[in-house]
Amino acid sequence: MKKTSTRLADGRELIYYDLRDDVVREAVDRRPLDAVATSSEIRRDPLLGDSIAIASHRQGRTYHPPADECPLCPSAGEKLSEIPDTAYDVAVFENRFPSLAGDSGRCEVVCFTSDHDASFADLTEEQAALVLEAWTDRTAELSHLPSVAQVFCFENRGAEIGVTLGHPHGQIYGYPFVTPRTALMLRSLAQHREDTGENLFDNLLDAEMAGERVVLEGEHWVAFVPYAAHWPYEVHLYPKRRVPDLLALDDAARTEFPQIYLELLRRFDRIFGPAEPPTPYIAAWHQAPFASLEEYGVGRDDFGLHLELFTIRRTSGKLKFLAGSESGMSVFINDVPPETAAKRLREVASS
C-alpha cells in the first residue's frame, strides 16, 4: 500500500491509498473554494446524559446529485470533484459538511472505489483489503488528535437508509466523547466481570459459536445473528481472537477478512431475491475508545472489536421503521426471529 497526503483547495486533507507503490499523485484541486466554515456544537442532554451534535451548516450539503455531477467520482476535464485526480483506488478526505469539527471532533469520507456504479460487494479481495488498511490507518491517525476520544468507521448504503450520495463510500467519525452505545457495552462488560470474573465478549462469542445462529465461519472470523437481534436481518462479525481495535488485528485475520466480509455483503443482496433492488444496510465497526476508561472500571484490552451489519428491510418491499416503541422508548420489536434470519443467510451462500 502507498499512502499520499495532500490538500484540497479549501485546506481540507485528502489521502490517497494505492495498491501500487509506483503511483504518483500530483493533481491539484482547481476549484475556487472558500475555507470551510462550520458551526458544530456539542450539547449534553441532562436527563439522558446523551451528547448531541448541533450542525446547522449541514442543511446545505450535496443532496442526490446526478451521476455526472457526483462529488466522489474522479475529476475529469472541467468536471471537478472532491478527488482532483482522474482515478484512484481508495481516497479519504475531510468532510466538507462535517457533523463534528475542530474541538468537537472530526468527520471523514472514505471512497471505496472510483467506480460510481459499484458497491462494496463488487470489490475484489485486494480492493477490500486496501479499504481495511485505510480504516486502520485512519483509526491510528485520528486517535492522536486531542479532540478525538473514539473512532467510528461505518458505511450507510441505500437511499432508504438516508444516503444522499450514490457513489460507494463510507465515513469515519472521530467523536470527542465515548458514545452512549459504547458506554452501555463498557458498563455491561464491567458488570459481567464483577459477576463472573470472566470477559463478556469472550463468553458471548463462545455461546454464539456453539449455537444455531452462526451464518459464516472462517479460521479467524465468525459471523452470526445475535440472540437478541434488534433488526430483521442483523449480523455481527467478530475476530476469533479478541482485540480492542483494528490496529490490533494480526496478519492472518487481515488476510481472511475480505473473503468473509465480501461474502456477507453478497448474501445480504440475495436475501430478498433477484427481483428486489440492492439491500440497504448499515455496516458499523465497534472499537474500544481511546479515551480513559477508568470511570467504567475496564481497560481497552477488555473490549472486543466487532462489526455490526444490518438492514432496515424486513421483507420484500417493506421496511422496518423505528416508530413509537423504538424511537420513543428505545425498545426494539423485531419481526424476524434471529434463528430464521440466520437460516436464510445460510441459504443464500455463494455456490
Q: Are strands 214-217 and 51-54 parallel, antiparallel or unpaired?
A: unpaired
Identified catalytic residue from 167, 169, 192, 286: 169
Tens-place pLDDT, residues 246-276: 999 999 999 999 999 999 999 999 999 988 8
For the segment 190-210, what is each residue's pLDDT rounded down to a tens digit? 999 999 999 999 999 999 999
CA gap 263, 272 in Å, rounded: 16
pLDDT attached to residue 306: 98
Do 136 and 213 lie in one domain? The reply is no
pLDDT per residue as tens digits for the range 279-326: 999 999 999 999 999 999 999 999 999 999 999 999 999 999 999 999
Percent of the chain with pLDDT over 90: 91
Grid cell at residue 59: 442543511
**With bands split at pLDDT 50, 70 and 90, how would you rate the model's confidence at 37?**
confident
Contacts of 294 (CB under 8 A, 6+ apart): none
130-162, pLDDT tens digit by residue? 999 999 999 999 999 999 999 999 999 999 999
Q: Which of 52-56, 210-214, 245-249, 287-291 has the lowest mean pLDDT?
A: 52-56
The pLDDT value recorded for residue 79 is: 95
CATH number at residue 211: 3.30.428.10
- CB atoms under 10 Å from CB of 48, counted, come to 10
Reference 284, options 307, 304, 303; nearest CA is 307
Is there a single domain that holds both residue 156 and residue 197? no
Same domain, 213 and 256: yes
Residues 7 and 35 in one domain: yes
Residues 238 and 142 in one domain: no
Q: Name the residue among 349, 130, 320 with its Cα closest to residue 231.
A: 320
Question: Of 159, 175, 191, which closes a domain?
Answer: 175
Same domain, 261 and 168: no
Res. 116 pLDDT band, cuts 50 70 90: very high
Is the pLDDT at 233 greater than 80, yes or no?
A: yes
Contact 233, 310 (CB under 8 A): yes
In terms of domains, do 100 and 71 share one? yes
Q: Classify strands 281-286 and 106-111 as parallel, antiparallel or unpaired.
A: unpaired
- 106 and 228 assigned to the same domain: no
157 with 184, same domain: the answer is no
What's the whole-number average pLDDT of the chain?
Answer: 95
Based on the fold, state whether residues 198 and 169 are members of the same structural domain: no
The residue out of 121, 145, 175 marking a domain boundary is 175
Banded pLDDT at 181 (limits 50, 70, 90): very high
pLDDT of 11 > 90? The answer is yes
Distances (CA, A) of 307 to 224, 257, 334: 11, 11, 20
* pLDDT value of position 142: 98
Cα distances (Å, whole numbers) of residue 28 to 8, 11, 32, 86: 8, 12, 12, 11
Measured on CA atoms in the order 156, 160, 164, 168, is the torsion positive or negative?
positive
What's the pLDDT at 274? Answer: 87
CB 21 within 8 A of CB 2: yes
Q: How many domains does the chain have?
A: 2
Work out the pLDDT band at 39, boundaries 50, 70, 90. Answer: confident
Which amino acid, residue 295? E
Confidence of residue 61 (pLDDT cuts 50, 70, 90): confident
The predicted model scores a pTM of 0.96
The pLDDT of residue 56 = 80
For residue 31, the number of C-alpha atoms closer than 13 Å in the C-beta half-sphere is: 20
Cross-strand partners of 347: none
Does residue 19 come out as left (phi exceeding 0), alpha (psi in the -120 to 50 range) or beta? alpha
Domain stop point among 132, 158, 175: 175
Name the nearest CA neighbour of 154 among 263, 306, 332. Answer: 306
**Residue 329 in contact with residue 226, Cβ under 8 Å?**
no
Distance CA 4, CA 218 (A): 33
12 and 102 inside one domain: yes
Residue 326: exposure state from Cβ atoms within 10 A (0-12, 13-18, ≥19): middle
Structural contact between residues 186 and 194, judged by C-beta atoms closer than 8 angstroms: no
pLDDT at 63 over 90: no
Q: Which domain holds residue 38?
A: 2-175
- The pLDDT of residue 319: 94
Assess whether 248 and 221 both reside in one domain.
yes
Angle at 270 between CA 131 and CA 168, to 5 degrees: 30
Q: Has residue 35 got a pLDDT over 90?
A: no
User: What are the backbone dihedrals phi and psi of residue 82, each rounded to the nearest 5 degrees, phi first?
Assistant: -70, -15
Is 306 a catalytic site residue?
A: no
- Position 231 scores a pLDDT of 97
